[in-house]
Chain A
Amino acid sequence: DAGVIQSPRHEVTEMGQEVTLRCKPISGHDYLFWYRQTMMRGLELLIYFNNNVPIDDSGMPEDRFSAKMPNASFSTLKIQPSEPRDSAVYFCASSFSFKPWEEDTQYFGPGTRLTVL
C-alpha cells in the first residue's frame, strides 16, 4: 500500500485566498483524521471522520475551516479565506478499527506545508 497520500506537499498563497488540502487514506481504513502542527501549539486534532461521517470537529479553529469526506478514499480540508496565522503543516492520518475502540494505530501522511503571506 502507498500509505496515506496528501496533496499538495507545499502550498504558498496570499491572505484571503481559498486553500484546499487533499487526502487519500489507506485503503480499508475507516477513520480519517486531520491535524495541524505548529511550533507554538504542537500537534492539534482538527476533525475526524468515521465511515465518511464527521464525528468530532471541536478542534476546527473557526468557521473559515471546513472538511468533507465524500467517499471512503478522499477527504478535503478547506480554508476560506486564509490568513497568515493559518500557516502550519497539516497532516492527514487514517486508521482501522476491527471493532469500536480497538486497535487504532494511526498512520500519517507526509503533510502539506501551508504558507499564507
Chain B
Amino acid sequence: AQSVAQPEDQVNVAEGNPLTVKCTYSVSGNPYLFWYVQYPNRGLQFLLKYITGDNLVKGSYGFEAEFNKSQTSFHLKKPSALVSDSALYFCAVRDSPSGAGSYQLTFGKGTKLSVIP
C-alpha cells in the first residue's frame, strides 16, 4: 500500500531564512507527488506536483520541491520564508499506472509551519 510520512509535526523558522518541510513516501511503482497548503479555516490549496521529468519542481508563492528517488523523498523548500507562509502543509502521493496502487491520493498528517517575524 502507498504511504507518505511527514516526520515533523511543526517547523519554526525566522522570517527571511530558508525553510524546508520534509516528506518521504512509499509506492510500488513510480510516484506522483503533491504538496498542498492549508490556511486556517480554509480548504487545501495546490502548491506543486511532480509527475515526471526534472527533479526540481517549482510551484506557487516561490515554493519548490526536490524529488529524490533514492531517498524516496519530496521535501518542500523556499529560499526566504515570509510570515504569510505560516500554515499547515500536506504532502500527498499516489501510484502511477504501472504500479499496484489505487487512483486515490494518500496524504501525510501535515506539518505546521510557523514563520517568526
* 14 pairs of residues in contact across A and B, judged by CB atoms under 8 Å: A33-B104, A43-B110, A48-B104, A56-B103, A91-B44, A100-B97, A101-B97, A103-B51, A105-B49, A108-B43, A108-B44, A108-B45, A109-B43, A110-B41
Interface residues of B (CB under 8 A from A): 32, 34, 36, 41-46, 49, 51, 90, 94, 96-97, 102-105, 107-110
A55 close to chain B: CB less than 8 A? yes
Distance in Å from the Cβ of A1 to the closest Cβ of chain B?
Answer: 14
B90-A43 in contact (CB<8A)? yes
Return chain B residues, CB-CB under 8 Å to A93.
43-44
Dominant secondary structure of chain B at its interface with chain A? loop
Return chain A residues, CB-CB under 8 Å to B109.
42
Cα-based distance from A109 to B107 in the complex (angstroms): 16
**Known A-B contacts A42-B109, A48-B104; A4 and B43 likewise in contact (beta carbons under 8 Å):** yes
